[in-house]
């Protein structure tokens, strides 16, 4: 009886302190990474689901599988969201462009997912107004009707109705808009989010649901049984250099633009499935567009869509859509792409951006499914996702977009249940809150992105008061964010912290270069690294950050 009462009490405490308990689980996992890694060498362990790739697609699949109660392992060769998933335009959207292309099903599905994203990760996703300026007399009516249809497709999860704007109203909302030839405008509502922070929070939620997720683990081969069916993966721990053979009932290839590399491991010589398409963004100071609204140009000089979106007090302008042959984790912007964005921004904003005004520039690769007719036009390749099951049983998920990550995961795990002969269990992610989610988001300072973790992060100053100080007098970031990223968000190095936990590399690469030595010192103290490690980290990060700038920069101190 005593034990029963004690158990009930413990259960009550754990429910009451649910967030604290989750934080502790993650802290323990971070500090005991080696112990978890050692578990991978258990020769008898057979995972229900093994996922290769820790971008939006892979992490979504890990969360889906773990929340259905399947034993789940996710392996990411670099950091979570190091690939395309940290390099998006930061829109949780249905895709107005796809509506124009008549892809109603895709738009409806994405708008539904946009609504679920806002519901389940309100600390990172927000309802944003987008203004379309019209320089044609017919534009006002045309876009108001089109965007009303867009809103209707969202059904109950709509973000608000589109409205016609007079020329005066457009100028009031976006004072730096080019006024010459302006007739009118339309304002519509869509979603905006922080991509890599959402990826990290999905990884944390997956852990809380029982998954094992590891960054810096590269899958470099596949294991097959005597009949040639997929039976697991061979993975290299990048940190230790040790290779592990891991068995699984279903193996999912969620490696984005790297999908063909994994497919080659399965069947050498296989025809490529992916057609990478590069998109770049330039980040500018808000003085170029001091507005709470985002700007959407539906048809630029070459028929593309261009956005200028306020994001963490900076303006993200993009993107491009350039078919490319090579793929890498750090794709480089092409000169013609940079020119195109600068020229187009100049066309629509009164203050023309110069190369020195670019605070950061990042490029990403869309993992588009290659068309079978050999067409070169990436605009015309469908953005819907595709799940392909190889003869061996390897499941590859490709295409899609960040906004639809949850539905992509649902479809993939439904497939894994069939392929891996797993018990049929229903999806649970529609109402599953993402780690940190809170309905009461107070955006009073930049720490709102931590959601329910904010208070615990600020409590770190009780351990060391210096952690409450700013990393640089000009920056808002504080030392506690670095400690938090290492202890609770699985950051392993300087780039993980400055690029994907605190987004300073993407927002202001010069600032990132300036604070790098201090941040590396904080990380080193947590991970017990020496001065040589700090020096090495600062040097390689500085080199990387230079490639995010258009004009070379030297650290100010």
Ligand X SMILES: Cc1cc2nc3c(=O)[nH]c(=O)nc-3n(C[C@H](O)[C@H](O)[C@H](O)COP(=O)(O)OP(=O)(O)OC[C@H]3O[C@@H](n4cnc5c(N)ncnc54)[C@H](O)[C@@H]3O)c2cc1C
Query: Would you tell me which residues interact with ligand X (CB under 6 A)?
Result: 52-58, 75-78, 81-85, 87-91, 93, 218-219, 254-258, 262, 279, 319, 329, 364-367, 400-403
Minimum distance from residue 412 beta carbon to ligand X (Å): 11
- Rounded to 5°, the CA angle 186-188-191 comes to 150
Minimum distance from residue 432 beta carbon to ligand X (Å): 19
Closest alpha carbon to 534 in 548, 547, 546, 519: 519
Which helix (DSSP H) or strand (DSSP E) does residue 210 occupy?
none
Going by the DSSP 8-state scheme, the letter that residue 85 receives in this structure is: G
Joined together, the tokens standing for residue 367 give 């993992």
Three-state DSSP class for 248?
A: strand
214 neighbors 76 (Cβ within 8 angstroms): yes
Residues 167, 171: Cα–Cα separation, whole Å? 6
Minimum distance from residue 187 beta carbon to ligand X (Å): 19
Cβ closer to ligand X: 258 or 288?
Answer: 258
Minimum distance from residue 309 beta carbon to ligand X (Å): 9
List CB contacts of 281: < 8 A, sequence separation 6 or more: 87, 89, 316, 317, 318, 319, 341, 361, 362, 363
Cβ closer to ligand X: 296 or 419?
Answer: 296
Cβ closer to ligand X: 393 or 399?
Answer: 399
Closest alpha carbon to 82 in 163, 200, 210, 219: 200
Cβ closer to ligand X: 176 or 319?
Answer: 319
If phi > 0 it is left, if psi is from -120 to 50 it is alpha, else beta; for residue 553 that is beta
Joined together, the tokens standing for residue 484 give 């938090």
Minimum distance from residue 402 beta carbon to ligand X (Å): 3
Cβ closer to ligand X: 70 or 307?
Answer: 307
Cβ closer to ligand X: 54 or 353?
Answer: 54
Minimum distance from residue 280 beta carbon to ligand X (Å): 7
Q: What is the number of other CB atoms lying within 10 angstroms of the CB of residue 37? A: 18
Minimum distance from residue 385 beta carbon to ligand X (Å): 8
Minimum distance from residue 56 beta carbon to ligand X (Å): 4
DSSP bridge partners of 237? 217
Joined together, the tokens standing for residue 265 give 């491991």
Instruction: Give me the helix-helix angle, 509-527 and 479-488, nearest 10°.
Output: 60
Minimum distance from residue 85 beta carbon to ligand X (Å): 3
Cβ closer to ligand X: 278 or 452?
Answer: 278
Residues 347, 164: Cα–Cα separation, whole Å? 22
Minimum distance from residue 43 beta carbon to ligand X (Å): 21
DSSP bridge partners of 470? 478
Residues 449, 466: Cα–Cα separation, whole Å? 22
Residue/partner pairs of 459-467 with CB below 8 Å, 24 or more apart: 460/484, 467/522
Minimum distance from residue 95 beta carbon to ligand X (Å): 8
Cβ closer to ligand X: 85 or 144?
Answer: 85
Cβ closer to ligand X: 91 or 282?
Answer: 91
Residues 80, 545: Cα–Cα separation, whole Å? 19
Cβ closer to ligand X: 279 or 436?
Answer: 279
Closest alpha carbon to 127 in 313, 315, 293, 283: 293
480 neighbors 457 (Cβ within 8 angstroms): yes
Cβ closer to ligand X: 154 or 165?
Answer: 154
Residues 430, 433: Cα–Cα separation, whole Å? 9
Q: What are phi and psi of 102, to 5 degrees?
A: 80, 15
The residue at minimum Cβ distance from ligand X is 55
List CB contacts of 423: < 8 A, sequence separation 6 or more: 417
Minimum distance from residue 73 beta carbon to ligand X (Å): 11
Cβ closer to ligand X: 402 or 484?
Answer: 402
């Amino acid at each position: 009886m005593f034990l029963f009462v004690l158990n009930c009490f413990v259960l009550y405490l754990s429910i009451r302190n649910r967030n604290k308990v989750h934080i502790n689980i993650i802290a323990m996992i971070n500090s005991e990474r080696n112990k978890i890694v050692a578990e991978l060498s258990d020769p008898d362990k057979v995972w229900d689901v093994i996922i290769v790739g820790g971008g939006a697609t892979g992490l979504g699949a890990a969360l889906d599988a773990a929340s259905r109660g399947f034993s789940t392992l996710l392996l990411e060769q670099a950091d979570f969201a190091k690939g395309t998933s940290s390099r998006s335009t930061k829109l949780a959207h249905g895709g107005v462009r796809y509506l124009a292309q008549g892809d109603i099903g895709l738009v409806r599905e994405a708008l539904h997912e946009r609504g679920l994203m806002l519901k389940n990760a309100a600390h990172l996703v927000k309802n944003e107004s987008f203004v379309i300026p019209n320089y044609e007399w017919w534009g006002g009516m045309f876009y108001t009707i089109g965007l009303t249809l867009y809103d209707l497709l969202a059904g109950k999860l709509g973000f608000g109705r589109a409205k016609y704007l007079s020329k005066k109203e457009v100028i009031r909302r976006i004072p730096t808009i080019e006024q010459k030839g302006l007739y009118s405008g339309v304002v519509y509502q869509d979603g905006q989010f922080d991509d890599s922070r959402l990826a990290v929070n999905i990884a944390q939620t997956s852990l809380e649901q029982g998954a094992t997720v590891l960054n810096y683990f590269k899958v470099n081969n596949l294991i097959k049984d005597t009949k040639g069916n997929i039976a697991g993966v061979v993975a290299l721990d990048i940190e230790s250099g040790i290779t592990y053979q891991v068995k699984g009932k279903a193996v999912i290839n969620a490696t984005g633009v790297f999908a063909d590399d994994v497919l080659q491991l399965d069947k050498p010589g296989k025809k490529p499935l992916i057609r990478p398409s590069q998109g770049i963004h330039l980040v500018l100071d808000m003085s170029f567009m001091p507005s709470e609204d985002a700007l959407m140009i539906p048809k630029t000089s070459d028929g593309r869509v261009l956005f200028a979106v306020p994001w963490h007090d900076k303006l993200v302008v993009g993107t491009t859509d350039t078919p490319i042959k090579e793929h890498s984790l750090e794709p480089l912007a092409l000169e013609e792409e940079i020119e195109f964005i600068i020229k187009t921004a100049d066309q629509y904003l009164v203050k023309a951006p110069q190369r020195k005004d670019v605070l950061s520039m990042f490029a990403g690769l869309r993992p588009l499914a290659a068309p079978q007719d050999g067409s070169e036009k990436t605009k015309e390749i469908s953005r819907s996702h595709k799940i392909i099951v190889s003869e061996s049983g390897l499941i590859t998920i490709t295409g899609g977009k960040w906004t639809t990550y949850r539905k992509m995961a649902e479809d993939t795990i439904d497939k894994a249940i069939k392929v891996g002969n797993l018990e049929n269990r229903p999806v649970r992610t529609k109402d599953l809150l993402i780690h940190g989610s809170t309905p009461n988001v107070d955006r009073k300072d930049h720490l709102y992105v931590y959601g329910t973790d904010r208070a615990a992060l600020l409590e770190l100053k009780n351990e060391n008061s210096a952690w409450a100080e700013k990393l640089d007098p000009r920056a808002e970031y504080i030392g506690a964010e670095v400690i938090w990223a290492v202890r609770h968000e699985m950051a392993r190095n300087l780039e993980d912290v400055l690029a994907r936990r605190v987004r300073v590399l993407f927002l202001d690469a010069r600032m990132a270069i300036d604070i790098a030595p201090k941040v590396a010192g904080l990380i080193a103290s947590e991970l017990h690294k020496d001065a040589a490690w700090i020096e090495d980290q600062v040097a390689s990060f500085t080199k990387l950050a230079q490639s995010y700038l258009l004009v070379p920069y030297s650290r100010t101190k």
